[in-house]
Structure 1
Amino acid sequence: MPPLVRWLPLFAVVLTLAVAVWLMQPPRPLGTEAPASVFAVGRALRDLAIIAREPHSLGTPANAAVHEYLVRRCRALGLRVSLQDTSVFTLTAGQLVGGRVQNIVARLPGRQPGGKAVLVLAHYDSQPHTPGAGDDGAGVAAMLETIRALRAGPPLAHDIIWLFTDGEEAGLLGARAYAADTARLRREVGVVLNFEGRGNRGPSALFEVNAQNGWVIREFARAAPVAFASSLFYEVYRNLPNDTDFTPLRQAGLTGLNFAYTDGFSHYHSPADTPAHLDLGSLQHQGAYMLSLVRHFDTVSLTQTKAPDYTFFNPIGHWLVYYPAAWNLPLTLLTLAVLLAVAVLARRRGRLGWLGLVGGAAAWVGVLLLMLAAGYGLLAGIVALYPQYQAFYSAAFYNILAYQVALLALGGAVFTAYYSWLGKRVRPDALVGGALLIGALLLGLVQWQAASSAFLLVFPLLFASLGWALRLRPAGPGWAKLLGGLSVLPAAALLVQYLYFTLIIFGGGPLVLVALLLLALLLGFGLPVLLPLLGQRYALPALALASALVALVVGHATSQPTAAQPQQTHLFYTLAADQGRAYWLSALPRPDAWTRQVLTRPHYGPLPAALPGATSPVLYQAAPRLALAPPQLLVLTDSTLAGQRHLKILVRPGRAGVRSMRLLPAGRGLQALRLAGHRLPLTNFTGPSLAITFYAPHAAGELLDLELATASPVQVVVTSRSLGLPPSAGLPPLSRTFVPAPGYASFSTQVKQVFTF
């Protein structure tokens, strides 16, 4: 075979990879000149500029201002608006979390009253230090622009409910409050559409559906203009400890679709998540989904929305393939049968022995372990050399792409060098067959554990097996061997998409090593293309290693923060009023350039005096004791009857601007506890004591009721928390290249008091 023809399959694979990634772009944003009945980002930006003007977390004046703006806008658009002002509690990460939320429920009336409605929702609160343009100001702005576009078109047949939830960032509080009346929900709502953001750019993907999703997937495929979706996302997401506002609605038994864009992880929950940094294509994609799906679901019956599960995925671009998940088992068996037949054919032609097949599989496992070890070492080295990255989620600094390219290139260098050496000692068909055998074993595992995601390996393995068969033809025509080489293209087009999503979701954290597994699978399926080229000395390993080094140089050159890409830092102040001591604390593993000016001689370890019940180590140092009013407890009633003690206590924040209170009640024989009128469970929590966090407390206080089996004393530790560091502490100002890190503790002022009764 001429050298050029030998390289042609590799060129085709590289081109396929590039095209597959390029086709994953979100749609082109539309400006204000777009027709009135279509969704246009240019118009949505007017609302987004107001919604994401400043941080507006639960219970803040800025949150109230956004709330009032949304109410006015909905009424101006002709919607019937009602407010849900209530308190709610939930169990989150083993801790009880609650708060006072203000949901906005707006109804767009249809021509035919009655019947089930479409429910569209996004949350309007942000995290404490971020304007929240991507999370979730874009979703809220998309709702307003969609309502406007619907009003500009023909009237809808049925009602559409628009739910603007509060308190999502504190624990899905608004959505849980709305979903509390499950019977009403099932009676009124036919389908749910939730819109989220986990970054500030990239395509918006359908990543979560409900069980028995066949009906809703078929309808989504018919209506979505630019569809990105995968049942693999659904399988992975439901096994992760992550939730969105869709979760309580799905748990209530509703049918629905959950969308989010996930690229731009560096900006997630950051002060840099501003409208100026938002990818307008991502917002256009959200709006395109929203408008088309609302119009579509208005035209179909919503009385029966359950059907057996479907498998769905994009083979390339926005071409969506979907079919009943029950088909996966026959497809898996067919693929395994084809692979077995090809292996038998290779053995009969003297190209493969069964022992060689097992050895080829062991060789693939060996190279995977080497790739993972090299990748882990690379990630550990990056964290050690650039500790400032650890302030970001999953160490995903703005230049994370450079390190991800280095990770993949290093993995490619290890793989090609390994097989270049091995190819001179082991039969090529043993190496090819062994890699496909591993693919078959993984396919069986996926079919067993997550059948709707079997497509990820079924089609790549099937085409790779057929390609192997073509290359087994003795002295066959060149086109057969060429087609055999091109048989890796389905694997390239499909696997590169999930490799891309693995990178943008996991950033620089340990789970990003899953990308190396996908890379090893892709290269394993592509061994018929690679092996003839790897015999040409070590050109491919050298090229891959050089690419890794260039990427690392780029990463180093862009490792310093700028005003446009600021460094996140973490610090907060705690006054232990019961002990008369104060501390500076930081969640960073070591001081950075800014915190070093405050934490001049820090200690590292748990600090129960300031953080009761917490066991994780923190950086801390003594701080000046400031005159900050502690929280207050006022005993309203204290009675004992039949050996049981009943306490009714008013818990007051004690100072202005408190956005949350943390309570740790402890007492012998604690039998019942009520806070803000809610009876709270005393089981199913973790930690040394029951921890309760309550957001947006009333300035006048919240009622706490305790029932104890004995008349023994009870202790309540209360910590009040306000946003911002104390202005009287004389801290050095933040430079333009530093911003507060995400989280409710970051850049906060806390005052702790212990009460014993």
Structure 2
Amino acid sequence: MLAVVLAAWVSVAADSSVPPPKGEDAPPEVFSAERALHHLHNLATAARPIGSQASRQTEDELVRQLRGLGLSVEVQRSVGTRRAAGLATFGRVDNIIATLPGTDSTGVVVLTAHHDSAAMGPGAADDGAAVAAALETARALVHGGEPLRNDLVVLLTDGEEDGALGADAFVRHHALARRDGVVLNFEARGVGGPSTLFETSDGNATLVKTVHEVVPHARGNSTLVQLYRLLPNNTDFTPLTRAGFSGLNFAFFHEASRYHTAQDTVERLDPASLQHHGTTMLSLARALGDADLTTIEATHDVTYFPLLGTTVRYPDTVAVPLAVGACGLVVFLGWLVRRRRLATVPRMLLGAASAIVPIVAAAVGAQALWLVLVSLRPGYSLMGGLLHEPVAFEATLLVLTAASLFTWYVPLRGRLGPSALTVGALCWPALLGVGFGWFAPSAAYVFTVPAIVSALAAIIALAVGKRPLWSVISLVVGAAVSTAVLVALAHTALLGMGYALAGVPAVLLAVWGLTLLPLADWFLRQSGQRPGLGTRLGVPAVAVPLVVASVAAGLVENEPGSENPVRSHLAYVLDADADVAKWVSGEQEPTDWTRRHVAERGPSGLPPGYARGELWTGPAPVIDVEGPDVTVSGRTADTLTLHVDSVRDATSVILRFDRPITEVTARTGTAPPATVQVTGIRANTWPGEVRFRDLPPSGVELTVRTAPGDQLRVTAIDETRGLDVVPGFLPRPPHVVAGTREDGDVVAVARTYAF
């Protein structure tokens, strides 16, 4: 069992490790985190959301730095778009495009990062680290080594946090987006950890092979790629690959509780993560910069994953045959068990049917853990399950999963027999492998590989039963491989998804426990022990106090303070028509600080169409400002052309419509018109919505096509950042920070129009 524990530790440690940062004295051709940090100290001093003064200052500094390196620099000023259900988002963006010409270009290599940040923090990691890495990479390419064969473009986009607006504007309006090439996008969802390959373009075989050949300490697995393709999340990588680029997307995501908050600072950023980001970027820029890009074809996807110090890689087309082979090995194991008269077929079938119980129980227990944590600390609901100090809660999850397995195994071992349970347990990873092989082939290995090695180990142990040394060697190797695959991925899933979705890593841990049954059964046979009533009673007797103790330890470790603050959500909303103002919070249970502003649940007194979901409100003083101005400049049966302006020079305006919208076109100054096709409706508010970020001083003209109807009501809301201008606002104490909702910490002034 020591080997299994060691395999678990090694797999998690290897998957989380990063190389040490290099100092300023590193050779010129080498990436240095210390040199990159000099840039970051200049860039990430304050939040720089789209359209802000800090964003424009950052833009000027980046242009100066890139031109100082000798690159040809252009600032693309345009309007980007994004669509979602019932929603059209527009925004003025300033993309920085710097080009390093190649000697004999076969295509373009695009290094991409976004220079804007979320409004709640300085964005040192997201995405300042990637911007600084791009500057240091460009320096290393210019001043160290031979010129590249291919053109290299450093694309620093704007408006990513509002929906990849800058990337959208680039692919729709810039000539470089028409060229063939490869995009390398770099992101962050935390302040530490390895730079991990988590997304690729389709047909990724050649690019993934390149990563593993040239990137030192390459991290990532194809399950992340498969998962990201199934989720609605997107970065700048999404519009770029949709435009035809091949590409790779990297991010680090440890300490994700600091993501999009005031704690995403240079001081909290791990320099080793910056080093890994930059080493990865520079290695791939050099390799792809000198490659014949015309030979990089999107042929097929590959499965890849780390395993005990090496990387396994094979075509996705092998996923189903391997999964079927795993099922065949389990069937053969069952045949061998029956032939040795260790179990009957009905008992093995009962073992297989019952083995779903610990998997489901572990998932339910994990989700129940999250509900308990939120009930004890309501502020966790705003953190999406991403907790500051999760180690004690990780122990809770392990105990709950182990208890699920023991509670199932102990009573049934005596009734069905250990061999029946072993064969039945291995049916589940084998069958899950088949299912994933058909529908998510890049992730099928998670179940197929443990099923294969565990079944093979059990078969070998039975075949050499009179030679215990070979039996234990085969079983330990099988358990170690299963551990390396499943435990590392469960840890990664917990870091990325958080405890709100703890059921996913719990399922992986439960399947891992099932694959250890051949080894556990062998040890029990050798020792002559047989779990009895005492063992059955001992499971809850041990598990309950361990769960209570680990939860208590986790709560103490995560006690709110300046190092581990709670999040809060608060906005000031003024209905300019009714001359009524409210403090508004979307917290499930407001923090003590928030309760000093809000007191009652419900949207009473808010402008029509403002409320989204459940809200807390409280009376607020009415400040002397005017609401947004909306006038009609054209109208047909189903189309309305509106001129929208903010009298108080707000940077953002939102229009909510009381019936669905199907198409919106925005026109601003000299920028080309931007059109968004809209489907579906908004949830928990009026069905149609249009947003415009970085509203120009002259306003914007919006042509909106709506569902048929008579009178149309439109609520216009303009927003400015910061609540300090409101009399009676109480600043947050050190243990409270602003949450990540985009409508928090804003002064919102609304007017409702009928057309």
Per the shorter chain, which TM-score range? over 0.9
Q: Describe how 1:503-582 pairs up with structure 2 within 5 A.
A: 503-509=494-500, 511-531=501-521, 532-533=523-524, 535=530, 538=535, 547-582=546-581
Q: How far, CA to CA, are the matches of 2:212 and 2:173 in structure 1?
A: 31
* Residue 182 of structure 1, CA deviation: 8.4
- 2:308 and 2:481 in contact (8 A); partners too: no
Partner of 2:742: 744
Greater CA drift, 256-265 or 681-690 = 681-690
631, 651, 663: which is aligned to 2:644? 651
Query: Percent identity over the alignment?
Result: 32
Quick one: which amino acid aligns to residue 664 of structure 1? R
337 and 682 in structure 1: CA distance in 2 versus 1, 3 angstrom threshold: closer
SS of aligned partner of 1:727? coil
* Residue 365 of structure 1, CA deviation: 0.9
47 and 352 in structure 1: CA distance in 2 versus 1, 3 angstrom threshold: same
Q: How far, CA to CA, are the matches of 1:264 and 1:421 in structure 2?
A: 40
Partner of 1:6: none
Q: How far, CA to CA, are the matches of 2:362 and 2:657 in structure 1?
A: 50
Q: How far, CA to CA, are the matches of 2:427 and 2:640 in structure 1?
A: 67
* Residue 587 of structure 1, CA deviation: 0.8
Partner of 1:44: 36
185 and 725 in structure 1: CA distance in 2 versus 1, 3 angstrom threshold: same
* Residue 615 of structure 1, CA deviation: 4.6
Quick one: which amino acid aligns to residue 697 of structure 1? L
* Residue 278 of structure 1, CA deviation: 0.9
SS of aligned partner of 2:160? coil
408, 411, 417: which is aligned to 1:421? 411
Residue 443 of structure 2 is aligned to residue 453 of structure 1: yes
Q: Describe how 1:68-83 pairs up with structure 2 within 5 A.
A: 68-83=60-75
* Matched positions, count: 737
Q: How far, CA to CA, are the matches of 2:490 and 2:615 in structure 1?
A: 35
- 1:644 and 1:709 in contact (8 A); partners too: no
Q: How far, CA to CA, are the matches of 2:709 and 2:465 in structure 1?
A: 93
CA offsets 1:490-519 (integer angstroms, 9 cap, x no match): 10011111101111011120x221111111
Quick one: which amino acid aligns to residue 166 of structure 2? G
Q: How far, CA to CA, are the matches of 2:11 and 2:661 in structure 1?
A: 62
CA offsets 1:518-537 (integer angstroms, 9 cap, x no match): 11111101012224458466
* Residue 165 of structure 1, CA deviation: 0.3
Greater CA drift, 735-744 or 302-311 = 302-311
Q: How far, CA to CA, are the matches of 1:666 and 1:517 in structure 2?
A: 43
- 2:18 and 2:276 in contact (8 A); partners too: yes
Residue 426 of structure 2 is aligned to residue 436 of structure 1: yes
- 2:82 and 2:676 in contact (8 A); partners too: no
* Residue 119 of structure 1, CA deviation: 0.6
* Residue 711 of structure 1, CA deviation: 12
Q: How far, CA to CA, are the matches of 2:149 and 2:225 in structure 1?
A: 31
Q: How far, CA to CA, are the matches of 1:321 and 1:678 in structure 2?
A: 48
Partner of 1:4: none
Greater CA drift, 232-241 or 555-564 = 555-564
CA offsets 1:638-677 (integer angstroms, 9 cap, x no match): 5x7xx76986543211113x22100135689998754436
- 2:204 and 2:302 in contact (8 A); partners too: no
630 and 535 in structure 1: CA distance in 2 versus 1, 3 angstrom threshold: same
- CA-atom RMSD in angstroms: 2.5
621 and 23 in structure 1: CA distance in 2 versus 1, 3 angstrom threshold: same
- 1:463 and 1:490 in contact (8 A); partners too: yes
SS of aligned partner of 2:282? helix
Greater CA drift, 727-736 or 262-271 = 727-736
SS of aligned partner of 2:193? strand
627, 632, 645: which is aligned to 2:629? 632
- 1:607 and 1:617 in contact (8 A); partners too: no
Q: How far, CA to CA, are the matches of 2:548 and 2:726 in structure 1?
A: 48
Greater CA drift, 413-422 or 245-254 = 413-422
Q: How far, CA to CA, are the matches of 1:321 and 1:669 in structure 2?
A: 49
Partner of 1:620: 617
CA offsets 1:42-97 (integer angstroms, 9 cap, x no match): 11101111111111001110111111111111011111000110112220344111
192, 198, 213: which is aligned to 1:222? 213
Q: How far, CA to CA, are the matches of 1:709 and 1:607 in structure 2?
A: 28
Partner of 2:673: 678
* Residue 317 of structure 1, CA deviation: 5.9
Q: How far, CA to CA, are the matches of 2:54 and 2:594 in structure 1?
A: 28
Quick one: which amino acid aligns to residue 698 of structure 1? P
SS of aligned partner of 1:55? coil
- 1:228 and 1:313 in contact (8 A); partners too: no
- Unaligned ranges ≥5, structure 1: 1-9
Given the two structures, how large is their TM-score scaled by the length of structure 2?
0.92
Quick one: which amino acid aligns to residue 619 of structure 2? A
666 and 585 in structure 1: CA distance in 2 versus 1, 3 angstrom threshold: closer
414 and 82 in structure 1: CA distance in 2 versus 1, 3 angstrom threshold: same
* Residue 184 of structure 1, CA deviation: 5.0
* Residue 271 of structure 1, CA deviation: 0.4
Partner of 1:126: 117
- 2:22 and 2:34 in contact (8 A); partners too: yes
293, 297, 301: which is aligned to 1:310? 301
Q: How far, CA to CA, are the matches of 2:607 and 2:161 in structure 1?
A: 24
728, 732, 736: which is aligned to 1:730? 728
602, 605, 612: which is aligned to 1:605? 602
Residue 689 of structure 2 is aligned to residue 694 of structure 1: no
Q: How far, CA to CA, are the matches of 1:236 and 1:592 in structure 2?
A: 34
Q: Describe how 1:107-186 pairs up with structure 2 within 5 A.
A: 107-112=99-104, 114-153=105-144, 154-181=146-173, 184-186=176-178
- 1:412 and 1:541 in contact (8 A); partners too: no
Residue 262 of structure 2 is aligned to residue 271 of structure 1: yes
Q: How far, CA to CA, are the matches of 1:213 and 1:548 in structure 2?
A: 43
Partner of 1:369: 360
Q: How far, CA to CA, are the matches of 1:348 and 1:513 in structure 2?
A: 38
- 2:652 and 2:718 in contact (8 A); partners too: yes
Q: How far, CA to CA, are the matches of 2:245 and 2:465 in structure 1?
A: 60
Q: How far, CA to CA, are the matches of 1:474 and 1:293 in structure 2?
A: 48
399 and 610 in structure 1: CA distance in 2 versus 1, 3 angstrom threshold: farther
Q: How far, CA to CA, are the matches of 1:384 and 1:709 in structure 2?
A: 42
* Residue 125 of structure 1, CA deviation: 0.5
Q: How far, CA to CA, are the matches of 1:34 and 1:611 in structure 2?
A: 60
646 and 379 in structure 1: CA distance in 2 versus 1, 3 angstrom threshold: closer
* Residue 559 of structure 1, CA deviation: 3.0
Given the two structures, how large is their TM-score scaled by the length of structure 1?
0.92
* Residue 185 of structure 1, CA deviation: 2.3
Greater CA drift, 312-321 or 99-108 = 312-321
Q: Describe how 1:497-508 pairs up with structure 2 within 5 A.
A: 497-508=488-499
SS of aligned partner of 1:23? helix
Q: How far, CA to CA, are the matches of 2:412 and 2:637 in structure 1?
A: 76
